[in-house]
Amino acid sequence: MKIICVGRNYRAHAAELKNEVPKEPVLFLKPQTSIPIKGQPFFYPDFSNDIHYEVEVVVRIKKVGKHIAPEFAHKYYDELSLGIDFTARDIQAECKKKGLPWDKAKAFDGSSPVGKFVSKEKFKDMQSIDFQLFQNGEKKQDGNSKDMIFSIDELISYISGFFTLKIGDLIYTGTPEGVGAVQKGDRLEAVLGGEKVLAIDIR
Ligand code: MG
């Protein structure tokens, strides 16, 4: 099982990090070990002093596919959730400056908690999915999939041109604006279409 993440998929978030709006999806991978063991908190890693949350809609792939046309992409998933793409922003800034890969900043142990999956039937339109992230009860990110630069189906199609998608693979579809730092003792909660699907403590 692999995790494919999309970077800079919302204009306002690209702008807040002073990145260009991409002409094609920005992809990176995370290993299975980036998903914390069920029920465990997020352990703040000692190699960073600037861990940020990024809440993202997560799609779970339900059948094997390669070179999937956008019009058939909807047949490859039927469940969604929210995940957090934890990012060591200090390490990432260093990597970007040197033109090096981001892996240390993004793919470390426990960096990709994912919530409870819900059927996509719950949503009338994949391009109108509301989601929020709360930090200690305060709303920090408020997104809607309509603001994605590349839609879920376009992403599945694009990704499958490079990586064969397999059952259980997860796609993190990018974060809206409002990313910020976490501290030990924080609690993050994520709400998808009005339903709380994820809660995680930072230790
Ligand atoms: Mg992200």
Residue 127 identity: Q
- pLDDT bin (cut points 50, 70, 90) of residue 44 is very high
Cα–ligand 1 centroid distance for 7 (angstroms):
5
Annotate 24-71 with three-state secondary structure: CCEEEEECHHHCCCCCCCECCCCCCCCEEECEEEEEEECCCECCCCHH
What percentage of the chain carries pLDDT values higher than 90?
93
CATH assignment of the domain containing 139 = 3.90.850.10
Cα–ligand 1 centroid distance for 63 (angstroms):
24
- Read off the pLDDT of residues 139-198 as tens digits, 9 standing for 90 and up: 999 999 999 999 999 999 999 999 999 999 999 999 999 999 999 999 999 999 999 999
Cα–ligand 1 centroid distance for 56 (angstroms):
7
Under DSSP, the state recorded for 165 is B
Cα–ligand 1 centroid distance for 73 (angstroms):
21
Cα–ligand 1 centroid distance for 114 (angstroms):
13
Cα–ligand 1 centroid distance for 74 (angstroms):
22
pLDDT at 38 over 90: no
In terms of DSSP bridges, do strands 3-7 and 170-172 run parallel, antiparallel, or are they unpaired?
parallel
The Cα-based distances of 17 to 118, 119, 202 in angstroms read 31, 32, 23
| pTM score over 0.85 | yes
Q: How many domains does the chain have?
A: 1
Alpha-carbon gap, residue 141 to 157, rounded angstroms: 27
Which tokens go with 118? 């819900």
User: 183: domain range?
Assistant: 3-201
